[in-house]
Amino acid sequence: MFTFHWFTSLAAKSYTYGLGSCKPSRQSHKNRILLPPLPLTLLALQVRWGEWHNHHYHNHHYHHHHHQEAPQDPKPNNSRSIFFNFRSEMESISVLMPIQMNKYLEQELEKRFNLLKLWNSPHKTHFLKEHSNSIRAIVGNASAGADAELIESLPNLEIVASFSVGIDKVDLNKCREKGIRVTNTPDVLTDDVADLAIGLILAVLRRLCESDRYVRSGKWKKGDYKLTTKFTGKTVGIIGMGRIGKGVAKRAEAFSCPISYYSRSEKPDLKYKYYPSVVELASNCDILVVACPLTQETRHIVNREVMNALGPKGVLINIGRGPHVDEPELVSALVEGRLGGAGLDVYENEPEVPEELFGLENVVLLPHVGSGTVETRKAMADLVINNLEAHFLKKPLLTPVVLLWVFTSDMDNIGLLMTCSMFAYLEEELQKRFKLFKLWHYPSTHDFFKHNANSIRAVVGNTKIGADAELIDSLPKLEIVASYSVGLDKIDLRKCEEKGIRVTNTPDVLTDDVADIAIGLMLAVLRKICVCDGFVRSGSWKSGDFGLTSKLSRKSVGIVGLGRIGTAIAKRAQAFGCPISYYSRTHKPHTNYKYYTNIIDLAANSEILVISCALTEQTHHIVNRGVIDALGPKGILINIGRGLHVDEPELVSALMEGRLGGAGFDVFEKEPEVPEQLFELDNVVLLPHVGSDTVETSKAMADLVIQNLEAFFLGKPLLTPVV
């Protein structure tokens, strides 16, 4: 009995409903611990300590001395009956839901109120007329709220609680006129919508969905996927610097993106550059994110002029509302190439989506799932219920909406061997400087080496074909191997050291892109971005909403290998509020991340495990069955390292059997072969080894290869020496 009452009082405090005469908490709702709505028993008990104590004592005394009559109170204790009286009153309050939303929300409302589900009625007008006098509350969302006509038809309506942040489906003027209170669900969905904005940017620039389809269709076996565009360092312009806009800015800053914004007025507390017009903002950014509320002034705020200012290399991201964008103009700009790409979660006439977009690979289309994670939808539902209960208990609303009106010639003779086709720019620049041999152009390598071996002084390789012992031994004049990659597992380093051959690679320049793709994979797996894109393109959205997904924000991220790339991933993940831990050969004293001495412990304490270490004999199959089982059926495995880091058959069986929650892979054991069992799974995202494959980074890597070669043959220090 004591435990029950203690929990009751604690729970009531957690909701900032004071006990007895205690004042309500002034703490902002976003800093509170919002517990799930408790049974009305706990919320309605408003008793003073003395009354509670007496009540507890009498019950305790009676149960231990049941042969005696329970003592009588000297005077009536009305507090004992508060709950019973109020519960019956609450259950008689009719709450109208215009459309089906969230199952948990429906269930919790039905426990507390007389819930009227308008969508279940075949004759909606008659239904509303029949129940109009009893309806005191409406629960709407971003699709169906409360327009003037509905409000006018409900004479006893007191409150509209929106299961959304956006309230453009609620006639605020009419509510103000009639003294109807309005609430929404801010803050709880900020992280998810901001996460999805970054996910859309990465999906558009890095072609995540198209790459996934490329692997699943078997096309990778016929050739590599084309280069994409990097995200890190791009200028991001944000329309609307509210909670979500700031959330997007915070995350984009972790990708070293300069931030600028447009809003109705400049925000003096922000360090970001402010533009007084959307056209100026669009002219000065690479990516334009729409994150403002929908009002008469912001309808079609992104028009033809704004799109032309953003230009043929610009990307538009809309996680606001569909009518923010002039959709016919967007379609024509994308089809005509006047706009570089778009990532859309919202549309003008949902679930109708312009079919002209379905054939474009530079767009990613999601079925309005910005806040569509299990965690956030539950938190939103809890907030709706808490607001309704607060209203009918005559307590302060948690989230009220304020209703206002609204180099030398000698080089030419140096023989340089490229082991395989890589990047056109690199080939062209090497051909300008050296005597370039392209090994893939020679059907007989034996004949090639017989005639050219003594003229080759340098080799340029990559992650596919580098310089093994056989190749090195066949080139007696070889002096340097320059790898067009960070990874060196395709180069026999011992043989190079033995023969005094210098080795270089391309670190740092690809760090950002690989770290970006790691975050992109996390978001694509958890938020099912590629599946959502297919859902919209197939027309399935018209038949019903897409299922809920899982959020990234605040998920614990474990990183295997805290080198340049691992550190960059950690930086980005921290911007999503993710706790970071890691495993590496040694503890890194300069970081404040939690260190685990073995990978099993790391996996057991992570929700997302990212592989970003170098491939060595020790790290071959570092992710085995034990690690996968430690990560568990809710865990996500991300591999942007090397395919051989993961025991692929064990991975496949774990995914098929449900022992692993999901996976995002850019690398595989026998590229371009990918286990076909994965193609049918919607909890995996498969990329064709495109981690560093952006135009910008590929050029920077090529330049570094060339600069290392020039430095070596000019007798200068190497920029990035390995051996």
Q: How far apart are CA 284 and CA 288, in angstroms?
A: 10
Name the E strands within 439-515: 456-461, 480-483, 502-504
Taking only the tens place, the pLDDT of each residue in 622-646 is 999 999 999 999 999 999 999 999 9
CA distances from 285 to 36, 257, 650 (A): 41, 10, 45
Q: Which long-range contacts (CB under 8 A, 24 or more apart) does 127-135 make?
A: 128/153, 128/154, 129/153, 131/94, 131/96, 132/156, 134/94, 135/94, 135/95, 135/96
Taking only the tens place, the pLDDT of each residue in 455-482 is 999 999 998 899 999 999 999 999 999 9
Q: Where are the domains of the chain?
A: 2-83, 92-184+376-392, 190-365, 409-509+696-713, 556-692
Could you tell me if residue 166 is left (phi over 0), alpha (psi between -120 and 50 degrees) or otherwise beta? beta
What is the predicted pLDDT for the residue at 87? 53
- As a whole number, mean pLDDT of residues 110-136 equals 94
Alpha helices in 459-612 (DSSP H): 469-473, 493-499, 511-526, 529-537, 564-574, 599-604
pLDDT higher at 70 or 244: 244
The answer to whether residue 66 is catalytic is: no
Q: Comparing 92-184+376-392 with 409-509+696-713, is the CATH topology the same?
A: yes
Please tell me which residue in 106, 350, 356, 671 is annotated as part of the active site. 350
- As a whole number, mean pLDDT of residues 282-288 equals 98
HSE-CB for 458 with a 13 A CA cutoff: 25
Please tell me which residue in 136, 368, 377, 645 is annotated as part of the active site. 368
Q: Which CATH class is domain 556-692?
A: alpha beta
Asked if 292 and 263 count as a contact pair (C-beta separation under 8 A), the reply is yes
pLDDT band with cut points at 50, 70 and 90 for residue 403: low
Please tell me which residue in 29, 206, 251, 321 is annotated as part of the active site. 321
Asked if 377 and 191 count as a contact pair (C-beta separation under 8 A), the reply is no
Fold category of 190-365 in CATH: Rossmann fold (3.40.50)
Give yes or no for a cis peptide into 672 (omega within 30° of 0).
Answer: yes
Residue 440 has pLDDT above 80, yes or no: yes
What is the predicted pLDDT for the residue at 275? 97
* Average pLDDT of the chain, as a whole number: 87
HSE-CB for 715 with a 13 A CA cutoff: 1
| H or E element that contains 309 | helix 304-310
- As a whole number, mean pLDDT of residues 656-660 equals 98
Q: How far apart are CA 569 and CA 562, in angstroms?
A: 9
- As a whole number, mean pLDDT of residues 31-50 equals 36
- As a whole number, mean pLDDT of residues 188-211 equals 96
Taking only the tens place, the pLDDT of each residue in 221-256 is 999 999 999 999 999 999 999 999 999 999 999 999
What is the predicted pLDDT for the residue at 91? 84
pLDDT band with cut points at 50, 70 and 90 for residue 268: confident
CA distances from 346 to 133, 318, 376 (A): 35, 7, 18
Taking only the tens place, the pLDDT of each residue in 337-379 is 999 999 999 999 999 999 999 999 999 999 999 999 999 999 9
Q: How far apart are CA 383 and CA 110, in angstroms?
A: 15
What is the predicted pLDDT for the residue at 485? 92
Q: How far is CA 618 from the centre of its chain?
A: 32
What is the predicted pLDDT for the residue at 23? 32
CA distances from 489 to 614, 667, 687 (A): 8, 14, 20
For residue 169, give the nearest of 193, 195, 194, 138 by alpha carbon: 138
The answer to whether residue 181 is catalytic is: no
Q: How far apart are CA 550 and CA 387, in angstroms?
A: 25
pLDDT band with cut points at 50, 70 and 90 for residue 44: very low
- As a whole number, mean pLDDT of residues 66-72 equals 35
Burial 599-628 (b: 16+ CB within 10 A, else e): bbebbbbbbbbbbbbbbeeebeebbeeebb
Going by C-beta distance under 8 Å and a sequence separation of 6 or more, which residues neighbour residue 175?
146, 151, 160, 181, 182, 403
Taking only the tens place, the pLDDT of each residue in 492-517 is 999 999 988 999 999 888 899 999 99
pLDDT band with cut points at 50, 70 and 90 for residue 176: confident
Residue 48 has pLDDT above 60, yes or no: no
What is the predicted pLDDT for the residue at 410? 60
The answer to whether residue 55 is catalytic is: no
Residue 571 has pLDDT above 60, yes or no: yes
Segment among 31-40, 163-172, 211-220 with least mean pLDDT: 31-40
pLDDT higher at 166 or 317: 317
Place of tokens 């340049």: 564
From the options 1.20.1090.10, 3.40.50.720, 3.90.850.10, 3.30.420.40, give the CATH code of 409-509+696-713: 3.40.50.720
What is the predicted pLDDT for the residue at 584? 96
The SS3 of residue 665 is strand
DSSP state of 340: -
Q: How far is CA 155 from the centre of its chain?
A: 43
Fold category of 92-184+376-392 in CATH: Rossmann fold (3.40.50)
If you count them, how many residues does the chain have?
723
For residue 258, give the nearest of 273, 269, 268 by alpha carbon: 273
Q: How far apart are CA 528 and CA 526, in angstroms?
A: 6
pLDDT band with cut points at 50, 70 and 90 for residue 178: confident
- As a whole number, mean pLDDT of residues 390-398 equals 88
